[in-house]
Structure 1
């Protein structure tokens, strides 16, 4: 037996469950579903992938110290002879609180002739509970599945509600709701880069977190929300450095520029009111061309390239980071120590963020294709859609700006209702989320095939995601004032991309350090996530 993984943290109550699953096959196991009946999952649990030949720890903690721990996980795998038909196995376990109940560990295979689970000896009493399961895959043809009377498991629809998912910092402080991450996970699950169906924000592995670091980079471009750890890429800091830079940072800071200055296009927003929408779009396309090429790694952009060389009008000796910094340093920010940083994945995560933000009500006004599905406004005056319906958004009419916006912006960026990345309908209540998932799936598939910028990616961004309405207007600091109104709803005529060639000729000059152009009022500013 391989060396056993240590518990994720020392238990305090003694009624935790530590279940070790040993993958004795040559294929990976992907998490299909999980349920914490009693207790709460430890960080990163249950793991969403168990690699071939590896072991993984499923740790369920006793939340209150007197309730025990009880849970179940279902993993999916594919037989090499039939890679299109899923097999699965379930592991159920419990360390009950109370002297009259025994510990238990049991398994069930969807096809015992092909997938066999061996529960090793364990103690029926005693705490905490430690158990071991070995999983084997026979060499028999997968055609025998039909002879096994295979009955798929019922997945529990309440598994997501076992604990509240949130972007939690130290001491359980909730920093924000991980809407971006959930949208990205949902898209990966449905894409050709298929994440396991049971993947959620709380069980992302380190490799998947690299995409999320890029996704979060757009909001936190100096990486101030994370600890500078050599071994972990998901260790959150308290957040005081980010808040300090956000509310009182230097105008040349990347945090200030991306939220209030010339780099607001990171969020599909204009740099200032009354900006021509073609200029905003041009800024986005010019930036994305370099970042996407960096992400796929097969074109002429390298992570060692300097910012001044790639973005001469954006970075200089006065900016933070300076023009001498590399693209790699740009995405690492203040956390350069992580030894497995993947700049390609981080760059791609940033691309996903820009796509997703472009469908958020506070960021852009898009033409609403289905105004008949609107269900008026809720008690707080925010737009909502009829049950089972969701917004279908068309071309961009107006890019918004952060400065001068009301607090209504935050409502449309967040969600009080729970979401499950595997269930797209759980995103219906977030206006724009379904379109964001759909476009993210398409972009992930282009990335998976390493499609070159000029072979369809530029066209996807310019003519599908950031396409302008025929009645596009100058930018403004509104939020939802015109959303769903007669003049911004129903069928529209898309604007031909007549500025396609001119957009690449636009030069957006970086303001001098002394000009003060980067300075924008922070009065009533919201942390714009």
Structure 2
């Protein structure tokens, strides 16, 4: 029998809606969309996956205690006989405020002959509102339902319509905007390891949270932001331990080293100003080789390996954690109790974080490939792009350092505008986010196929993600001073050099052609390359001549107009 998903129940006192969905099928349900019309979702709701044979709780809280709750969810599933055609069902529910309004719970199926939803008896009055829905899948082949599939169902349209540390603190208080998590979720949705399209930060399940724990590990490597719980991997602590270590921790602490010391490459940053970019890149690749191999689990790295063996220059008896600690202990930090910890997923989440950070303006200066899409600066002096456009970033010019940066660093890591992981355009306003998502998708696909480090993963990191510009500079803390300027925009200087080489070769071919064509009246047939050179030469020569002719004709036209004007003016005066 399938394991039941543990519902996350929040104590209620008002007009909450508490809906139980029972999956009576042999396939999983994936959240397609959700809408809180009145009220706010409880933590973990609506769940983004309802496992086969399991039940799930959907709780919509009454925000003010007197406004009521009203919402809807759409789940997607696939019939075993036709795994390429999505089916869906919609659940609508309401616990309205007011003694004269009734509760309601109704369902709609995109194809009732295949997906059957049964609403069990519920009370029309009373608060909070509790309802139960059972969902069944017929054993009939989907191919036998062609007629039903071709006949539009009246509810089908409705069913388908409709970079800093980011986390929500205790009592739902938002401490930081979860930009990293949203970027990762967006990438997973679009990858071969698809998250359900309706997945958001608030409804991640425990298995998906293991990736997020690795994603957050880069910022909180001792796991001080989380409670050491045996049953939960997403229970956040008050945060005072993390803040204490961040602001006043020992230099040997992993928190201090990763944010201010030799391990700043966790964030695609240099250890100090004036560091060689090649050294920073080498540190990142060396670290990632071990961590990625640990993530895929099919190479020579095991979670029981000691830190001193794998990183002898990074960990010793004086570091925290010490060199005797294992890779598993490294990623568990101060939270070793969780019984379902997945070190592979946490290691991979850390890899994703490094990729994402490398595209954040506060971490690196990259060559801007589309300066024409810039729309100046906003009222606070921050760069912005034209509507519908976003930054396209190229090679790394400079790795930044955290020490010495102004508070403007945070602006480019955060987002005041709302985002939806299923809508990539909602990330356009965050400079570097679209590139971070694109590269994260590629890395997830490599991970999904368990591609070995030497079979393309190293090249992906070295020559695509962390590739250095031909005019890369020493590290500095200057976040935005050169971003978008002429010397850091358009095509990379490497590409420009290649273009210059091509122009040089073309110039030599033209000279040779001109010399050889000195025997203009011989019967020798010019080669194809000579034809090409002559054609380009003639275009470049005739272009200035045509421009001169046009200007000359323009002057003549103006002169004629002036003479004609004087003649007419004299005629009017004489008249």
Q: TM-score, normalised by structure 1?
A: 0.90
Provide Cα deviations, 1:238-272, integer angstroms capped at 9, x if missing partner. Answer: 11111111111100000000000000000000001
Unpaired runs of at least 5, structure 1: none
SS in 1 for 2:59: strand
C-alpha distance in 2 between matches for 1:236 and 1:57: 21
Change (3 A) 1:151 1:279: farther
| Larger RCO, structure (CA 8 Å, separation 6 or more) | 1
Change (3 A) 1:341 1:491: same
- 1:277–1:399 Cα contact (<8 Å) kept: yes
Equivalent in the alignment of 1:192: 192
- 2:223–2:333 Cα contact (<8 Å) kept: yes
Equivalent in the alignment of 1:247: 247
C-alpha distance in 1 between matches for 2:302 and 2:108: 49
Unpaired runs of at least 5, structure 2: 506-524, 530-562
What's the CA shift for 1:171? Answer: 3.0
Spell out structure 1 runs of 4+ moving beyond 4 A: 1-7, 149-166, 493-505, 510-514, 517-529
SS in 1 for 2:463: helix
Change (3 A) 1:500 1:76: farther
- 1:292–1:348 Cα contact (<8 Å) kept: yes
Change (3 A) 1:436 1:513: farther
Change (3 A) 1:316 1:463: same
Task: Tell me which protein shows more helix as a share of its residues.
Answer: 2
Change (3 A) 1:497 1:370: closer
Change (3 A) 1:467 1:124: same
What's the CA shift for 1:175? Answer: 1.8
The worse-fitting range, judged by mean Cα deviation, of 425-434 and 152-161 is 152-161
- 2:165–2:216 Cα contact (<8 Å) kept: no
What's the CA shift for 1:143? Answer: 2.6
Change (3 A) 1:431 1:443: same
Change (3 A) 1:4 1:232: closer
What's the CA shift for 1:496? Answer: 14
Provide Cα deviations, 1:186-221, integer angstroms capped at 9, x if missing partner. Answer: 000000000000000000000000000000000000
The worse-fitting range, judged by mean Cα deviation, of 59-68 and 288-297 is 59-68
Provide Cα deviations, 1:257-290, integer angstroms capped at 9, x if missing partner. Answer: 0000000000000001111100000000000000
- 2:2–2:53 Cα contact (<8 Å) kept: no
- 1:179–1:413 Cα contact (<8 Å) kept: yes
Equivalent in the alignment of 1:122: 122
- 2:184–2:437 Cα contact (<8 Å) kept: yes
What's the CA shift for 1:128? Answer: 1.4
What's the CA shift for 1:166? Answer: 6.8
C-alpha distance in 2 between matches for 1:216 and 1:398: 24
- 2:217–2:331 Cα contact (<8 Å) kept: yes
Q: Aligned residue pairs: how many?
A: 523
C-alpha distance in 2 between matches for 1:285 and 1:129: 54
Change (3 A) 1:331 1:24: same
C-alpha distance in 2 between matches for 1:381 and 1:182: 26
SS in 2 for 1:116: strand
- 2:111–2:156 Cα contact (<8 Å) kept: no
- 1:366–1:397 Cα contact (<8 Å) kept: yes
Change (3 A) 1:106 1:351: same
What's the CA shift for 1:155? Answer: 12
What's the CA shift for 1:58? Answer: 0.7
Equivalent in the alignment of 1:512: 527
Change (3 A) 1:406 1:504: farther
What's the CA shift for 1:148? Answer: 2.2
What's the CA shift for 1:67? Answer: 1.1
What's the CA shift for 1:62? Answer: 1.0
Change (3 A) 1:397 1:10: closer
What's the CA shift for 1:174? Answer: 2.2
Equivalent in the alignment of 1:262: 262
Provide Cα deviations, 1:471-497, integer angstroms capped at 9, x if missing partner. Answer: 111111110110000000001145999
C-alpha distance in 2 between matches for 1:267 and 1:163: 10
Change (3 A) 1:56 1:152: farther
Which has the greater radius of gyration? 2
C-alpha distance in 1 between matches for 2:570 and 2:339: 39
Correspondence 1:523 to 2:538: no
Provide Cα deviations, 1:426-454, integer angstroms capped at 9, x if missing partner. Answer: 00000000000000000000000000000
- 2:168–2:174 Cα contact (<8 Å) kept: yes
SS in 2 for 1:164: coil
- 1:7–1:18 Cα contact (<8 Å) kept: no
